[in-house]
Amino acid sequence: MSTSSDLGTSRIVKASPPTTSRDAPRIVPGNRTLSGVVWLALYPLVVLAPIVLMLVPPVPTGRSFWVEMSVVLGFVGLTQIGIQFVLIGRFRPLTYPYGLDVVLKYHRQIALVAIAFVLLHPALILIEHPARVVLLDPLGGTYASKLGIASVLALVVLAAVSIWRERLGIGYELWRVTHTALGVSALVLAQLHVSLAGLYVNTPWKQALWIGSSVALVGLVVHLRLVVPWRQRRRPWRVTGVRDEGGGTVNLDIEADGHEGLRFEPGQFAYLKIGDSPWTVEEHPYSIASSAEHTRRLSFGIKALGDFSESVSRVAAGTTVFVDGPHGAFSIDRAQAPGYVLIAGGVGITPMMSFLNTLADRGDPRPVLLIYSTNTEQELAYSDEIESLRERLDLETRFVLAEPPHDWQAEEGTITAELLERLLPKERFVRSFFVCGPPAMMAAVERELLAHDVPRTHVHLEKFALA
Amino acid sequence: MRHLYANAVTWALAIGLALFAALFAWARSAQLVIATELDVEPVVVAGVAARVAAGAVVGATPDAGDVERAAFGEQVYIANCRNCHTADGSGRGMYPPVRDLALHLDAEGGRDYLIDLTLHGLHTGEYGAPMPPMPELSDARVAAVLNHTLVAFATNVEAPDPRRLYTPAEVTARRGLALDEREVAATRPPIPSAEALGSVGAGEEPGGAVRRDDAE
């Protein structure tokens, strides 16, 4: 195994970044905290703007409380569904302050809230006036009620397929296409429903605003699926090496072909598309393993979990790769501390490699403790690279194996409270902790760290289940 | 931490939106949001009542008040009715047309029927959606919007004589009745639909026209 980045610098000399270009696209300009606060402040205004629009004359005469409640919940639900199209658009200025992973998590949560609102809309209107039950007959009713029912059905199927995708045995690509199609259908059907039934869209200009907004939101999907790939086409990457790191982890090295590469923060991830077409639906997020000081050469740690990941191990050198990123906020650069504790399980070592490589390239003198657990010694990915990094960093490593070989000298079992108690540095109150691994392991480690008086603000978790 | 903040934002937003929706619904149901028509309403109430009492031929010689009244009725129609019954009053086949309602005025009980279906709703089963009760409309608005449909959507028949237009006082008298949309449909005198009346010609005895119930 070889290390992916140039190791031509000693630990004494302040590392020079040989392949970094000043012209590489910046991650995002501006102050992260400020933009995070601004977006959050704007959010309720955007969400409530359509409701305020409803009060611009001519306004229908107010109806009973439950009818108005039903109507406003329908509108609030619809605007929330519209917002989803913005959230999933991977607009870096928007997601950068929070991290795309958190934005996607929020997307899943708030979408359920939106669906609950949308379901309350017909329920309340029925309770208020039971004669309206005839509207639920898909063969009877009106155009408006039929379109509304169809929209709600699309939403319910969308939610069910997303929540139980694995149990239903639906593949990732099929799910993704279905999810997009159902989402667009739900929005379009709901917009038609509003146009036909909505008392609150009772003037041509209000209709135009609503329809225009819906068209723009559908346009965002077109942007993400057609325009963004078209732009990516001009920024191709080539595979320079594929290496089996053991334990089913494959390291993929790529190099920028004719452009300035990707500026990122160590620990971030990017979406990869492998092959000649940037318009493929086969696109997966992977953590960057290489140093952030090298923008034209990237390495990714890929765990062979699905068909796509397995096929990565068979990719030939020179194959074209398209990169969408960087995304995510799991980064030491966002949590300055006098030292770091990195706790990795399995393929969770990947972002840690980015941290270590970056710190080494920067000649960073701060102490780092790496606790890395896998099942067997063979599954320890990047072990040679970690060994050589020890010479360039103030790095202490602890490998924890569930099934150690007979001559194993280090830790055995899993990461337990007892183990942490023994391994955690004395200055644990000031160091920043980065944890990445299987969900159960991360939950256990987080619990133990908090129990050992590590401040919650110093614990950073990366969950890789994104979709 | 980021994940915890995200959870908090989700909860805050869900609760905040629900509270906002409740506040909005309360403000609307309490008629706190004042539509511009309200300024006109007293004029209409006073104006129509006074002129009808004086036996004036409303609309024969349009004055400023008539224009204002017509605009008021149209406003109420645009805000509350047009989305279903459409701008031309045809309903596009999906909702009942509100054209030529003047024919109903001639049928027995037809005058009250038009008020009742507006105040208490109507469900005949002939159309997919029941007409929702609209008690939130004030007496002046009900009168104004009925007059607007009678005049503006008179396509095959002549608009009623201005003296036969509705006054708010008539609406007041029907408001207290405990009718639901099926009762309005069932207990009404046999009033043919405007369509049926139109097909037999406006000149015939209106009461002798085909019952809509029979036609169903």
* pLDDT mean over B140-158: 87
Q: Is the pLDDT of residue B43 over 90?
A: no
- The ipTM (two decimal places) reads 0.81
Residues spanned by the domain of B90 = 35-215
Nearest-CA residue of chain A relative to B4?
A102
> CB-based contact (8 Å) between A439 and chain B?
no
The verdict on a CB contact (< 8 Å) between B13 and A44 is: yes
Write out the H or E segment, with its range, that includes residue B47: helix B41-53
Select from A37, A45, A68 the residue whose CB has the most chain B CBs within 10 Å, as the one to mutate to test that interface: A68
Asked whether residue A5 is domain-assigned, the answer is: no
> CB-based contact (8 Å) between A123 and chain B?
no
Between residues 37 and 96 of chain A, which touch chain B (CB distance below 8 Å)? 40, 43-44, 47-48, 51, 55, 57-69, 71-73, 76, 80
Task: Say what the pLDDT of residue A52 is.
Answer: 86
Tally A–B CB contacts below 8 A.
156
Tokens at residue A357, please? Answer: 């490589």
The verdict on a CB contact (< 8 Å) between A61 and B79 is: yes
Which residues of chain B have a CB within 8 Å of the CB of A76?
Answer: 17, 20-21
Residues B26 and B94 both lie in one domain: no
Residues B70 and B45 both lie in one domain: yes
Which residues of chain B have a CB within 8 Å of the CB of A105?
Answer: 3, 6
Q: How far apart, in whole angstroms, are the C-alpha atoms of residue A135 and residue A146? A: 8
Residues A40 and A189 both lie in one domain: yes
The verdict on a CB contact (< 8 Å) between B80 and A203 is: no
In order of A204, A344, B67, the CA distances from B72 in angstroms are 19, 71, 9
Residues A358 and A401 both lie in one domain: yes
- The DSSP code for A399 is E
Residue where a domain stops, chosen among A176, A209, A231: A231
Q: For position B91, which CATH number holds?
A: 1.10.760.10
User: Residue B129 is nearest to which of A64, A110, A141, comparing CB atoms?
Assistant: A141
User: Residue A68 is nearest to which of B16, B28, B35, comparing CB atoms?
Assistant: B28
**Number of domains, chain B:** 2
Task: Say what the pLDDT of residue B99 is.
Answer: 86
Judge residue A146's burial from the number of C-beta atoms within 10 Å of its C-beta, 0-12 exposed, 13-18 middle, 19 or more buried. buried
Asked whether residue A371 is domain-assigned, the answer is: yes
Contact residues for A398 (Cβ-Cβ < 8 A; gap 6+): A369, A370, A371, A372, A410, A411, A423
Task: Say what the pLDDT of residue A13 is.
Answer: 38
Residues spanned by the domain of A183 = 32-231
Residue pair A344/A372 in contact by the 8 Å Cβ criterion? yes
Q: Is the pLDDT of residue B58 over 50?
A: no
Which of A80, A144, A148, A154 has the alpha carbon at shortest distance from A112? Answer: A80
Residues B164 and B201 both lie in one domain: yes
Distance from CA of A59 to the nearest CA of B (A): 6
Place of tokens 């325009």: A227
Residues A320 and A338 both lie in one domain: no
Q: Pick the residue with more confidence: A12 or B167?
A: B167
Task: Say what the pLDDT of residue A84 is.
Answer: 93
Q: Using pLDDT thresholds of 50, 70 and 90, give the confidence band for residue B115.
A: very high
Asked whether residue A18 is domain-assigned, the answer is: no
Asked whether residue A88 is domain-assigned, the answer is: yes
Nearest-CA residue of chain A relative to B141?
A61
Select from B83, B85, B86 the residue whose CB has the most chain A CBs within 10 Å, as the one to mutate to test that interface: B83
Q: Is the pLDDT of residue B186 over 80?
A: no
Asked whether residue A302 is domain-assigned, the answer is: yes
Distance from CA of B22 to the nearest CA of A (A): 6
Task: Say what the pLDDT of residue A137 is.
Answer: 80
The verdict on a CB contact (< 8 Å) between A135 and B129 is: yes
User: Residue A142 is nearest to which of B7, B20, B129, comparing CB atoms?
Assistant: B129
Residues A455 and A439 both lie in one domain: yes
Asked whether residue A87 is domain-assigned, the answer is: yes
Q: For position A429, which CATH number holds?
A: 3.40.50.80
Q: Strand order of the sheet with strand A432-436?
A: A411-412, A395-401, A368-374, A340-345, A432-436, A459-462
Task: Say what the pLDDT of residue B206 is.
Answer: 39
DSSP string for residues in B84-109: HH-TTS-GGGTS---TTTHHHHHSTT
Coil, strand, or helix at residue A142? coil
The verdict on a CB contact (< 8 Å) between A457 and B1 is: yes
Residue pair A362/A227 in contact by the 8 Å Cβ criterion? no
Nearest-CA residue of chain B relative to A71?
B25
Residues B41 and B24 both lie in one domain: no
Residues B103 and B177 both lie in one domain: yes
Residue where a domain stops, chosen among A261, A292, A327: A327
Residue by residue, pLDDT tens for chain A (467 residues) are: 333 333 333 333 344 444 444 455 555 556 788 888 899 889 888 888 888 888 887 778 788 899 899 999 999 999 999 999 999 888 988 898 898 888 998 999 999 999 999 999 999 988 887 878 878 887 777 788 899 999 999 999 999 999 999 899 998 889 999 999 999 999 999 999 998 887 888 788 989 999 999 999 999 999 989 999 999 999 999 999 999 887 778 999 999 999 999 999 999 999 999 988 999 888 888 999 999 999 999 999 988 766 677 778 888 999 999 999 899 999 999 989 999 999 999 889 999 999 999 999 999 999 999 999 998 888 888 989 999 999 999 999 999 988 888 877 777 777 777 888 888 877 778 899 999 998 889 999 999 899 888 888 999 998 765 54
Q: How far apart, in whole angstroms, are the C-alpha atoms of residue A40 and residue B144? A: 46
Which residues of chain B have a CB within 8 Å of the CB of A140?
Answer: 128
Task: Say what the pLDDT of residue A26 is.
Answer: 54
The verdict on a CB contact (< 8 Å) between B134 and A80 is: no
Distance from CA of A458 to the nearest CA of B (A): 8
The verdict on a CB contact (< 8 Å) between B129 and A134 is: yes
Residue where a domain stops, chosen among A211, A231, A251: A231
Averaged pLDDT of chain B: 74
Contact residues for A69 (Cβ-Cβ < 8 A; gap 6+): A124, B21, B22, B25
Which residues of chain A have a CB within 8 Å of the CB of B125?
Answer: 134
**Number of domains, chain A:** 3
The verdict on a CB contact (< 8 Å) between B129 and A132 is: yes
Task: Say what the pLDDT of residue B126 is.
Answer: 75
